[in-house]
Structure 1
Amino acid sequence: MSEVPQAFGRIALIGYGEVGRILAEDLRTQGLAVAAHDLKLQQPAQAAAPQAHAQEHGVQLHAQAAGAVAGADLVISAVTASQAVAVAEAAAPHLQAGAVFIDMNSASPGAKQRAAGVVDAAGGRYVEGAVMTSVPPYRIRVPLLLGGPHAAAVVAPLNALGFAAKLADERLGVASATKMCRSVMIKGLEAMVIESLSTARHYGVEDAVIASLYETFPGIDWEKQAAYFFQRVIEHGRRRAEEVREVAQTVREAGLQPWSASGTAERQAWVADLADAGVFGQRGEAGFARSADWRTEADRLLAAVAQERQR
């Protein structure tokens, strides 16, 4: 099998949502050839946005994963957590020998190990990737932990492209375990803040609760943090719910019952259902999930709950 290249020339993105588009933009500014595939391209009602973005930034779109990965020496999988193994299975037969496949999905260590088996058996080089915080503020320089036997060899070539990658461990599962355990806390905090402050808003005690939080944790701007949490869950609750279900599976793989993670997944999915129903405004509206005051979104949420009770 060929050595890992010192530089990547042709790059394929599997998943052309928020993360995929950000990576495409930053890679294309360097003049790199970028191809992409997303399941939404097979759905006419959802294909327009990715097609317009790809045309603007010079990304070659493919309706099937096979077309996107053919000839690529670097493939980046950035899809919803539940599709991590399926994407590896779809892409693996079409990888050129020695191609690096970076799985950036928020999947459990067990899922990553299954995906690695598929890719490596097909002659590719599977690298586990764990994105350690939200991508938009950092873009391509988002902190990225790499794992697996091929990981050390790709750190330098990736960082040459602008990534902020570092080796977690040569054992598969360590990087994703780090990510998943962090998500128990971070995604759980998102769900708890939405649940706590929405309930406080209902009882008219939100200012007292916020004041108490400031007193206990003075280093956090709770007003700003709450607005950010509401915004991110309203926009990406579906994806977050899938991730936290993988988090729950990670906890199970450790032999524990994922009581907290399971509840977090349900809360995130519930908010996503409300968003899909238009409770927070239609997607694309200027005000959608962009309120500087979390109270606006909490009021919308509570109004939807009240309406449901009256049915």
Structure 2
Amino acid sequence: MDKDIRTIGLIGYGEVGRILAEDLRARKIAVFAHDIKQAGPAAAELAEHGARFGVELMPDHAALAARSDLIISAVTASQSVSAARSAVPGIGDSTWFLDFNSASPKAKIETAELVNGAGGRFVEGAVMTSVPPPRIQVPLLLGGPDAAALEPRLNALGFAAKVASDQLGVASATKMCRSVMIKGLEAMVIESFTAARAYGVEDQVIASLVETFPGMEWEKLGSYFFQRVIQHGRRRAEEMRESARTVREMGLAPLSAAGTAERQAQMADLADRGLFGQRGTPGFAKSADWRTEADRIIAILKDQAQ
């Protein structure tokens, strides 16, 4: 039986969850949310955001699920299955469950078994680019037997959803394989540009890249990639571990994906230590010039070598 969507529950109230909450509340949709950080230092920040936008924070995932016609899971990749499992006790008959997470096809299928086994209707979602700046209009691929039924309902709420396949795993495989390239390019640029800066040949390297790929603005890409990885390296590292898992499950050693995950995690570690300035400052990092961030990395390496 189809179920109208009047209430939406957000599992995960981080950057993506809050953007979705803001845009859904602007459309007068009732929104509930729960995040494991409600029990930590970020509790006050989450409560303030919820109060400002009229989002009711719930005590746990099961309580959220019991109030929701549509559940959207937007957590880190490593938590996608466990988050769904914790929501299962509250999932009612025909409750929609949209998995927004950057997880492997196998993880999506495992989550679907949990949700569908509880009477819900699971649909996998693959977010095909960064949520900001398009926000709720970010390109979204849907997959699974119930994807076609959910698509018009999502688009009526302001999403830009498109069915990729009625087979689970196709949308997530598309996302994961794309991430091998996109996140890998971020990692390669950071590695190449930082090493070039250390050797004093960054201008020559960039000039050569411009000559080889004249349509790409390498200076701007360098600054953008450094900023994005500094701010979101932890989440990107988890996504790349899922990409590596996706590659490994089809029988190919994920040499590039695994290396990218390590580089993203390294940048996240440096950001957590405060070496790139305080998170949340304009431009994501303390400096919008990639050279400044590369110099910080080089200085750290020199200190470690002494």
TM bucket, shorter chain: over 0.9
SS state of the match for residue 27, structure 2? Answer: coil
* 1:3 is aligned to 2:5: no
Q: Which residue of 2 aligns with 1:271?
A: 267
Higher mean displacement: 272-281 or 287-296: 287-296
| Cα distance in 2 between the residues matched to 1:59 and 1:301 | 40
Matched-pair contact (CA < 8 Å) for 1:226–1:294: yes
Q: How many residues are aligned here?
A: 306
Unpaired stretches in structure 2, ≥5 consecutive residues? none
Q: Please give the per-residue CA displacement for 1:6-52, whole angstroms capped at 9, x wherever unaligned.
A: xx210000001110010000000011100001000011x12122121
Matched-pair contact (CA < 8 Å) for 1:75–1:102: yes
Cα RMSD (Å): 1.1
* 1:13 is aligned to 2:41: no
Q: Please give the per-residue CA displacement for 1:107-131, whole angstroms capped at 9, x wherever unaligned.
A: 0000000000000000000000000
1:281 Cα shift?
1.2
| Cα distance in 2 between the residues matched to 1:275 and 1:221 | 25
Q: Which residue of 2 aligns with 1:282?
A: 278
Amino acid in the other structure paired with 1:17: G
Matched-pair contact (CA < 8 Å) for 1:281–1:288: no
Give the one of 8, 14, 27 matched to 1:30.
27
TM alignment of 1:254-269, pairs within 5 A: 254-269=250-265
Matched-pair contact (CA < 8 Å) for 1:132–1:143: yes
Q: Which residue of 2 aligns with 1:293?
A: 289
Q: Which residue of 2 aligns with 1:216?
A: 212
Matched-pair contact (CA < 8 Å) for 2:77–2:238: yes
Q: Runs ≥4 in structure 1, deviation > 6 angstroms?
A: none
Q: Which residue of 2 aligns with 1:253?
A: 249
1:284 Cα shift?
4.1
SS state of the match for residue 157, structure 1? Answer: helix
* 1:191 is aligned to 2:187: yes
Amino acid in the other structure paired with 2:62: A
Amino acid in the other structure paired with 2:20: L
Matched-pair contact (CA < 8 Å) for 1:71–1:96: no
Matched-pair contact (CA < 8 Å) for 2:136–2:159: yes
Matched-pair contact (CA < 8 Å) for 2:229–2:268: yes
Give the one of 289, 292, 301 matched to 1:305.
301
Q: Which residue of 2 aligns with 1:228?
A: 224
| Cα distance in 2 between the residues matched to 1:4 and 1:67 | 19
* 1:119 is aligned to 2:115: yes
Amino acid in the other structure paired with 1:83: Q
Unpaired stretches in structure 1, ≥5 consecutive residues? none
Kindly tell me: are residues 297 and 62 of structure 1, through their superposed partners in 2, closer, same or farther at Cα, counting changes over 3 Å? same
* 1:66 is aligned to 2:62: yes
Q: Which residue of 2 aligns with 1:204?
A: 200
Amino acid in the other structure paired with 2:175: K
1:94 Cα shift?
0.5
* TM-score, length-scaled by structure 1: 0.96
1:290 Cα shift?
5.1
1:293 Cα shift?
1.3
SS state of the match for residue 255, structure 1? Answer: coil
Higher mean displacement: 174-183 or 209-218: 209-218
* 1:39 is aligned to 2:63: no
Q: Which residue of 1 aligns with 2:45?
A: 49
Amino acid in the other structure paired with 1:112: K
Higher mean displacement: 278-287 or 181-190: 278-287
Matched-pair contact (CA < 8 Å) for 2:228–2:284: no
SS state of the match for residue 32, structure 2? Answer: strand
